[in-house]
Amino acid sequence: MIENVQQMRGVVEKALKTGKCYLEYPQHKIKEPTFAILSMVTNTPTLTEHDRTEVMNLITYNIHIYARSQTEIVDLASDVSDACAKIGFTRIGLTPAWNNPTMGPYRILTVQALLDKRGNTFTYS
């Protein structure tokens, strides 16, 4: 059950094992070779009551995963994707590995779930 972005951040950090997850690009030099940047792309109401109170939202997260090498990034993306699936998020996209000259290789994982007003996540297909 995910109710806010901080809980999702914790899920990603556990999946990274040795890395940190940030909610924005850090301004200082990153000391960890493995880290992720989490951003909520959408939080769109998909179901409302007659009085327009939200019942269910579609939530989409982009997770930028950085690592030391291309091979490590493949394993980390898989681990984070599996961790998100356990809490009801469906993987809807995963980019090829790219290289950032200052921060190293990275991939962008996009996950999505339906979230009801009680905080329950639902996968969909």
CATH of the domain at 68: 3.30.2000.10
Amino acid identity of residue 113, one-letter, is A
**Domain ranges, residue 105:** 5-122
Comparing CA positions, the residue from 83, 82, 105, 85 lying closest to residue 95 is 105
| Per-residue CA distances from 26 to 9, 20, 117 (Å) | 15, 11, 31
Do 104 and 66 contact (CB within 8 A), yes or no? yes
Cβ neighbors of 92 (< 8 A, separation 6 or more) are 60, 110, 111, 112
pTM: 0.81
Per-residue pLDDT of the chain (125 residues; tens, 9 = 90+): 566 777 888 889 999 988 888 888 766 666 677 889 898 888 887 877 777 777 788 889 999 999 888 888 889 999 999 999 988 889 999 998 888 887 788 999 999 988 777 666 665 54
Domain count, the chain: 1
